[in-house]
Amino acid sequence: MNNPASLLLLVFFGITYLQSSYEKLFYWNDNVTWLKEHFSKTRLKNHVKLALINLVIMELISTILCFVGCIELLVNNGRLFGFYGAVFSAITLLMMLFGQRLAKDYDGARTVVIYFIPAVMAVYWLN
């Protein structure tokens, strides 16, 4: 294996998005209630469920691509699925960042950036 850092980042994002999408799906009503309040003063206030569905779909796509990318990296040192997993991870984080900025939750936006940095590193390393 020539790329252990990339593998670790793919595992990191796979676990992160798997847990995140699990929580969103199995605690749907709690999430919708909290998010409606969070976005009550934004343009998203009437579209919270649709935004959450889009976010969960992106998280699940990212999860699958990251884990398949791990397998591909281990089996034949291929980087295609991992690259797309990293790209989808970064796009998902940009969606979250947009929402946090829209809600004027600057601490939340800062937290998203902490995840975005390794996502961009993974995109770069797997390109």
pLDDT digits (tens, 9 = 90+) for 44-79: 999 999 999 999 999 999 999 999 999 999 999 999
DSSP 8-state class, residue 42: S
- Mean pLDDT of the region 40-45: 94
- What confidence tens digit (pLDDT) does each residue in 111-121 have? 999 999 999 99
Q: How confident is the model at residue 34 (pLDDT cuts 50, 70, 90)?
A: very high
- Mean pLDDT of the region 11-25: 98
What are the two backbone dihedrals, phi and then psi, of residue 67, each rounded to the nearest 5 degrees?
-70, -40
Q: Label residue 45 exposed, middle or buried (CB < 10 Å: 0-12, 13-18, 19+).
A: middle
Query: Does 1 score more than 80 pLDDT?
Result: no
Tokens in use for 1? 């294996």
Give the domain ranges of the chain.
4-126
Distance CA(125)–CA(61), nearest Å, equals 20
Mean pLDDT for all residues in the chain: 97
**Amino acid making up residue 17:** Y
